[in-house]
Amino acid sequence: MTTKMDLLRFVTSGSVDDGKSTLIGRLLFDTKTIFKDQLESVEKTSKLKGEDSINLALITDGLKSEREQGITIDVAYRYFATPKRKFILADTPGHVQYTRNMVTGASNSTLSVLLIDARNGVIEQTKRHTFIAALLGIKHLIVCVNKMDLVDYKEDIYNKIVDDFISFASKTDIPDISFIPISAKDGDNVVNRSTNMDWYNGSTFLHALENTYLMSDYERVNCRFPVQYVIRPRRDGFQDYRGYAGRIAGGVFKKGDEIVVLPSGFNSKIKKIEHLGKEVDLAFPPMSVNILLENEIDIDRGDMIAKKFSPPKIDQDIDVMIAWMGNEPLVIGKKYSIKHNTNDAKCVIKDVRYKIDINTLHRQKDEKKIGLNDIGRINIRTSKPLLFDTYKKNKITGSIILIDENTNNTVGAGMIV
């Protein structure tokens, strides 16, 4: 089974001043994927700031306040392509106060690029971002040990950082971790191989991005189709048309498959699958399709089509690992709105089971206060049953968002456990 869309979504993370924006600027510059007017603007700004060469970080630091402070504040998305692959990158802030922005950028990514300053080694933010990547189910992590030029390209410094990182990361469950020594400022091992580190025989950064294998990341076993919209044109030629639109969240659906519609429990067969206006024999993640059934069944937005023998869980009491993004701390007993796939509900937080110490990954069972940028495990009760899987099993059906009903702000990103 193949897909024509070879798209990699990745996020850059690391502490402030580790060189995330410079790395991406170098990548875009050396692959010649910057618009001429954008490059001229960056050259002009660099000269006005009195810099001798082009400040590559300015390519991604788009906000005025970011350029003034020299740091990334918001998530900056960039789109580019090489002959081998299309890319959507999320350049996220490194400062601890903007950790929630990092969570936002990483939530839709399948690969994380983590930068470490060779002079500082593994620090608290390194651990925080590694844990968040693991929590969000990111399976591919490229660790770039940056600023090797400032430590005279010494191999022993690089090796110690690799050892320190592996010692910490062994406590997480990220299966694919690779390491690359780079100098983003000078371009060593970014697009072109460095002549200053002949002791390194691994991939360049671009080669690693282009060749990371992604197809195994999608859930292919358990069929999940959250219904987003019911299509009933009610016009000539489509009087009896009733299709269910949405994005395949798991498994492989085929014409003729016996399915169950949840939560009603009605059974039917797939009569037709349409993708981009054409009929197809099968559909799989992340395709957006219309599914037509042989029977007339009352189906609404928020319902789910699945296979009879592998349904999702249905429950109102749910355990969630929550990354708190609200300025106000989580309140036990308070009601929040919950968004789960195409479904909306209300919920109340019943308990905080524990809070995670980012440095040690220790579970603080007596700590009930979850504030901005904290991560902990909570138990919620929803106003109606949700159809879900664990996040580890399916990232789409296993994730939720909590919204404060008073402010309408998103206050928590949750992974169902």
Q: What is the 3-state secondary structure (H, E, C) of 302-357?
A: CCEEEECCCCCEEEEEEEEEEEECCCCCCCCCCEEEEEECCEEEEEEEEEEEEEEC
Higher pLDDT, 237 or 411: 411
Residue 228 has pLDDT above 60, yes or no: yes
Two structure tokens written together for 412: 């928590």
Question: Are 294 and 269 in contact, with CB atoms under 8 Å apart?
Answer: yes
Q: Identify the CA nearest to 370 among candidates 319, 321, 336, 316.
A: 321
Q: Respond yes or no on whether the N-terminal peptide bond of residue 263 is cis (omega within 30° of 0).
A: yes
Higher-confidence position of 56 and 273: 273
In 3D, which of 200, 246, 209 has the Cα closest to residue 225? 246
Euclidean distance between CA atoms 301 and 311, whole angstroms:
18
Q: Is the pLDDT of residue 96 over 70?
A: no
d(CA 379, CA 348): 9
For residues 328 and 410, is the Cβ–Cβ distance under 8 A?
A: no
Contact (CB, 8 A) for 142 and 180: yes
Q: Do 14 and 179 meet the contact criterion of CB atoms below 8 Å apart?
A: no
Exposure of 159 by Cβ count < 10 A (0-12 exposed, 13-18 middle, 19+ buried)? Answer: middle
Q: What is the mean pLDDT of residues 235-250?
A: 86
Residue among 347, 79, 408, 397 nearest 226 (CA): 397
DSSP string, 139-161: -EEEEEEE-GGGGTT-HHHHHHH
* Model confidence pLDDT, tens digit, residues 114-167: 999 999 999 988 988 898 888 888 889 999 999 999 999 999 999 999 999 999
For 311-331, the pLDDT digits (tens) are 999 999 999 999 998 989 999
Place of tokens 């195994």: 216
* Residue range 271-300: mean pLDDT, rounded: 92
Which positions ≥6 away from 165 have C-beta within 8 Å?
A: 116, 122, 126, 130, 143, 179
Q: Give the whole-angstrom CA distance, residue 79 versus residue 8.
A: 10
| β-sheet bridge partners, residue 76 | 91
Of the chain, the percentage scoring pLDDT greater than 70 comes to: 92
In sequence order, the 6+-apart residues with CB closer than 8 A to the CB of 47 are none
What sign for the dihedral angle of Cα 9, 15, 16, 17? negative
| pLDDT at residue 64, rounded to an integer | 45
Picking from 205, 10, 5, 32, the residue whose alpha carbon sits closest to that of residue 88 is 10
Q: Which two tokens stand for residue 204?
A: 């360049």
258: which residues sit within 8 A by CB, 6+ positions away? 267, 268, 269, 307, 308
**Rounded to an integer, what distance in angstroms lies between the CA atom of residue 204 and that of residue 194?**
9
Could you tell me which residue, 152 or 60, shows the higher pLDDT? 152
- Per the model's pLDDT, the better-predicted residue between 75 and 318 turns out to be 318
Is the CA virtual torsion 207, 1, 399, 345 positive or negative? Answer: positive
Length, in residues, of the chain = 417
- The stretch 194-221 carries a mean pLDDT of 88
- State the Cα torsion 246-107-103-400 to the nearest 10°: 40
